Chain A
Amino acid sequence: MNWLVVAPILLPLLGAILAALLGRRRRLARAVVVATCLLMTASAVALLAEVWQGGMVVMAVGDWMAPFGIVLAADHLSAVLTVITGITGLAVAIYAIADVDRLREARGYHALFLVLLTGVNGAFLTGDLFNLYVWFEVMLIASFGMVALGRTRAELDGAVRYLMLNIVATLMFLMAIALLFGSTGTLNLAHLHLVVSSGEAEGAVFAAGLLLAVAFGMKAAVFPLFFWLPASYHTPAFAVSAVFAGLLTKVGVYALIRVFTLVFAGQESFVQTLFWPVAAATMVVGVLGAASQTEIRRILSFHIVSQIGYMLVGLALLTPVAVTAAVFYLIHHIVVKANLFLVAGVIHRYCRTNDLARTGGLVGRAPWLAVLFLVPALSLAGIPPLSGFWAKLLVVKASLDAADLAMAAIALVVGLFTVFSMIKIWNEAFWKAPPEGAVEGTASARDIRILCAPISMLAVLTICVGLGAGPALDLAERASAELLDPVGYAQTVLGGWERLAVADPVGGPQ
């Protein structure tokens, strides 16, 4: 048993129970949430350090060895994602102190938030397909609760759209699990890899692959399955939409990367033909959608979609550089996008609206906020030396290395449009004079300080990743090397049991 692997899941779960018990004692509940996020980050960093030094860490839950029991497996990708989850969680937890109101807190915001983080970390760390389904559900039920917390019309409407589509997506996931189990007799990801790649893959396996692509693609908001995201991400409290924007779609991307580099490792052409058009279309459609919007959070929501396309280039090309780019992009994007949603919340505080037609003059009223906006915005657009520049550079380099000029061109043009969108927000919210009849929001200095602390923290992180891109790149390269070595993953997870896989599928149909 290695408790480091299970700590990032266990800590927020315990914190959630504690926060739920505290109920209306808001101050205590807030303290519990912040403390839990701190501990979680610390444990995730310890896990990453261990993985960095000694390679993958595997834990058989209840000492039932894989492939019979459920395993938790942390490789570089999983470990670094739990660290980022911890940091983002911490930032949002601090932000929420000033952003989430009494009513939402009384309705269980704190407990739901920690349950959400439990689900996210669980999804990152599990090595079992059905267990992944369970973590997805944990995440979903918490996010359903969080979307609808305020019970305003907009929130309820957004929640209904979010809920219906996400339930259908999880049902597809479950169907895929059934098909895979039916044709391979196992649910362990490592074991699945060995069974699927050992023989002639049957039709059912490809059907399951397509269902998984649709199910995870819907969560990740890829073209053409993204419509629920811009319809619902701009309605809940800012803290809620920030954690959604940062983490939830990225769990979908993680699941896509994990499943299609591990289980379907032998079917490169299947994966590439599936994801090339998806990646390209997602980038283009997302950024064009953003161009037509005038509400800050809706613009940012469409940019989530567009950026997901960049991450999928990793699966579209499947070269080491491309997968490195995808991993780097994931890390960069979680931090930057969560931060932009947090900034949107502060803009809302100042202008009482996020509609760009009615905002303005913030560069005079809050110059430091302008700086705090520019860091993630320029990073998202890919301006050097911020983290987004390296992420985009890697994607373009991967495309050029693979002699895929079309993908490189799309990535560059979409980057240009991203700059356009960020400049639009800058011009309308910060630079132009406030429009006539604009309402000035009243925000207490204390609130603004609390709101801006986590924003500054994430901005500093963005700058650090940009300036110190070397170590981050090392990490991404190691993660990509592991992802492209599914046999190594399988051997580490299964220990001595991998001989079972090829010779005699366990428990499967004859």
Chain B
Amino acid sequence: MEPYLAVAIGLVVAAAVYLMTDRHMVRMLFGVALLGTAVNLVVFVSGDVLQGLPPLIASDAAAPDGEVANALPQALVLTAIVIGFGLFSFALALVFKTAQRFGTADIDQLGAAEPMKTDGPANGSRPTDGAEQERAA
């Protein structure tokens, strides 16, 4: 099972890296999300993949009978999925807001935080502070 999963993970990572190199922010984000999926699969494989051996203990026993699957990676993956989902939702909202504000989803056209010219460094102390004029300049 592991070799197949390893190849599958490799393919997903390749796709993720391809997407992350894109200039479109949404594609970049999909790349990051895909990379998260690949990493979750790595965590899943790390505890050995066994078939049909649930980690259950008889009610009167202190230890499981014979070989059972490792339950921990699944718990880890669950945690990672939940965290990843939260991060992805936030990132999507942020990208949406940014695209709305700049009128473009092209990461190369943002440049408000690192202006090429040094005459107008960005200062965001106040939400109304200089950001609009700066773009106009």
Contact = CB atoms under 8 A, between A and B. Distances in A.
Interface residues of A, number: 56
Which one of A163, A179, A236 has the greatest number of beta carbons of chain B within 10 Å?
A163
B46 A181 contact: yes
A402 interface: no
Nearest to B75: A130
A421 B72 CA distance: 51
Interface string B49-89: 00000000000000000000010110010011001001100
Interface string B22-49: 0001001100100110011011011110
A144 B89 CA distance: 12
A153 B125 contact: no
7 contacts: A134-B79, A141-B86, A141-B90, A168-B20, A174-B39, A177-B76, A345-B125
Given A134-B79, A154-B131, A181-B47, A145 B125 contact: no
A331 interface: no
Given A141-B90, A152-B127, 4 more contacts: A137-B87, A151-B97, A171-B36, A178-B42
A171 B35 contact: yes
A162 to B, nearest CB: 9
Tell me whether chain A's interface is mostly helix, strand or loop, or mixed.
helix
A487 interface: no
A101 B114 CA distance: 24
B122 A235 contact: yes
Contacts of B48: 509
B121 A294 contact: yes
A140 B114 CA distance: 22
Interface string A145-175: 1001011111111111101100110010011
Chain A CB within 10 Å, residue with most, of B101, B118, B127 = B127
Interface string A233-274: 011111000000000000000000000000000000000000
Interface residues of B, number: 53
A348 B113 contact: no
B91 interface: yes
Interface string B94-133: 1101100110000100111110001111111111010110
Contact of A103 (B36, B90, B120, B127): B127
A234 B114 CA distance: 10
Given A101-B126, A509-B48, A144 B113 contact: no
List 4 tightest A-B contacts by C-beta distance, closest first.
A154-B122, A182-B46, A295-B121, A152-B131
A175 B127 CA distance: 38
Contact of A155 (B20, B32, B124): B124
Contact of A175 (B42, B118, B126): B42
Nearest to A227: B114
A153 B112 contact: yes
B1 to A, nearest CB: 13
Nearest to A355: B121
A97 B1 CA distance: 58
B126 A178 contact: no
Contact of A168 (B32, B97, B121): B32
Nearest to B107: A160
Contact of B94 (A152, A153, A163, A345): A163
A331 to B, nearest CB: 28
